């Protein structure tokens, strides 16, 4: 029998069985992700909406080539794109703006603004590329390339691609060369203050920094996306969500150099489903509370993800000195392969060239669940809960966890680390939990004479 890489005959039968099942399942899922298929088919709702139309909707179709766009990848087609958008925006009813198949359109940094009279569908059938030279952004906002703001009832789709041509930006990043100062870089595709937004069936490539960002948006669905950049590309988050309410990201493949999905300040009602992630930094809530500010993240549900060869698995990270809370967050049905830090809560996060000073205040972390998390860890410490002394983690919950070694470097056994972490478990949990019971936490608070936190009153 071929050696599967397991290290010691003394390991228990159940751990070996879990290893074998994990490898078989991950091999199957890897084959599926090569074609960028959804990984985990969740049950579909049996509820079907019916809509009765009294008359057909009129829809105007506008192509950027109607406004003299060349589509050769060499000429600047920005003005043609803007004129097509302006025409569609002024048309009452429904309008399509088409970026035709088989052509490459060079678009410079651009602001695409609402409010529009029409409900627009931007159909990217061909390719949109950014200028290669960062000098194009001189005198402009260096955090933006394709920037949509104040547009409601917008759909962006089409099966085409958006290429940020980020290689020159990466070479000039302080994350690549620590001897140079840090400068901002553009997010490829940003939606700001948009409502009732759909982004689907697109490929985003090699962004200058983050690929897709939703900021201050409501009611967003992003689905069937491919987000791809080299593992060495700095800060190239796949999907970034900030100050948003009601966001769903599903059936998407993300392989980049940073977080596959990052959910940051003041975001709530976020659903993540059927995600393939890796390489990258995993799925992250935070960072929260940087520079001593108040921030929150709540009502976040991650259900169905396959993570492979990522620096982290599912993570919550906060800065010392921050205020606010991360609450009501669930990570469920997660499969991992060779993932460092598979499950991690870090209230001592510090992404700074200088050491961060110790501070007493902290973003409160509570009511966090990890359910049905399976797979292999590239590090010995598969579960890490590093919580604040003055604001411990409460209400942590582990159910049906099995994370074993991906290699022989630590004799196949994984471990848990807990500091000021309180919660409970159910079912099989490996590595064994180190959580202190919630009852112990309550008793400790009573014995110390501490008052309830304001948010628990």
Question: Smallest Cα–Cα separation from 208: which of 191, 189, 221?
Answer: 189
Contact 107, 64 (CB under 8 A): no
Question: Smallest Cα–Cα separation from 174: which of 395, 352, 40?
Answer: 352
Residue of 77, 237, 251, 258 with catalytic role:
258
Question: Smallest Cα–Cα separation from 263: which of 279, 278, 277, 249?
Answer: 249
Is the C-alpha dihedral spanning 418, 424, 430, 432 positive or negative? positive
281 as an active site residue: the answer is yes
Residue of 98, 281, 311, 346 with catalytic role:
281
Q: How far apart are CA 217 and CA 42, in angstroms?
A: 26
CA dihedral 77, 82, 84, 88 (to 10 degrees): 160
Residue where the block lists tokens 């994350």: 175
**Residues annotated as catalytic (active site), given as ranges:** 258, 281
């Amino acid at each position: 029998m071929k050696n599967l890489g397991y290290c010691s005959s003394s390991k228990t039968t159940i751990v070996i069985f879990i290893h074998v099942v994990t490898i078989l399942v991950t091999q199957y899922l890897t084959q599926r992700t090569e074609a960028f298929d959804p990984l985990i088919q969740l049950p579909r709702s049996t509820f079907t909406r019916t809509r009765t139309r009294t008359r057909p909707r009129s829809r105007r179709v506008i192509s950027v080539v109607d406004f003299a766009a060349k589509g050769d990848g060499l000429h600047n087609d920005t003005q043609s794109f803007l004129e097509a958008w302006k025409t569609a925006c002024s048309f009452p009813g429904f309008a399509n703006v088409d970026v035709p198949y088989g052509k490459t359109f060079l678009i410079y940094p651009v602001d695409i603004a609402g409010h529009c009279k029409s409900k627009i569908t931007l159909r990217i059938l061909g390719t949109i590329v950014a200028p290669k030279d960062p000098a194009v952004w001189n005198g402009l906002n260096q955090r933006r390339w394709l920037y949509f703001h104040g547009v409601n009832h917008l759909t962006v789709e089409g099966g085409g691609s958006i290429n940020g041509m980020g290689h020159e930006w990466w070479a000039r990043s302080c994350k690549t060369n620590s001897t140079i100062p840090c400068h901002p870089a553009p997010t490829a595709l940003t939606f700001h203050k948009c409502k009732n937004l759909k982004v689907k069936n697109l490929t985003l490539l090699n962004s200058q920094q983050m690929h897709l960002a939703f900021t201050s948006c409501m009611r967003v669905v992003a689905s069937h996306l491919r987000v791809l950049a080299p593992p060495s590309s700095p800060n190239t988050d796949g999907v970034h969500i900030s100050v948003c309410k009601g966001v769903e990201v599903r059936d998407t493949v993300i392989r980049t150099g940073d977080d596959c999905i990052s959910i940051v300040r003041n975001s709530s009602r976020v659903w993540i489903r059927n995600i393939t992630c890796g390489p990258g930094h995993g799925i992250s809530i935070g960072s929260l509370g940087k520079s001593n500010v108040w921030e929150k993240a709540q009502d976040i549900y991650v259900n169905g993800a396959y993570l492979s060869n990522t620096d982290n698995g599912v993570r919550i990270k906060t800065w010392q000195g921050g205020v606010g809370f991360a609450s009501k967050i669930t990570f469920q049905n997660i499969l991992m392969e060779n993932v460092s830090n598979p499950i991690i809560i870090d209230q001592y996060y510090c992404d700074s060239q200088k050491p961060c000073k110790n501070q007493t205040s902290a973003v409160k972390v509570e009511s966090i669940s990890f359910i049905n998390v399976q797979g292999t860890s590239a590090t010995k410490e598969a579960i890490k809960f590093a919580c604040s002394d003055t604001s411990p983690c409460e209400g942590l919950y582990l159910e049906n966890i099995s994370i074993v070694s991906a290699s022989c470097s630590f004799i196949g056994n994984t471990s848990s680390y807990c500091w000021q972490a309180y919660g409970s478990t159910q079912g099989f949990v490996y590595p064994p939990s180190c959580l202190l019971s919630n009852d112990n936490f309550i008793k400790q608070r009573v014995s110390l004479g501490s008052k309830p936190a304001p948010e628990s009153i």
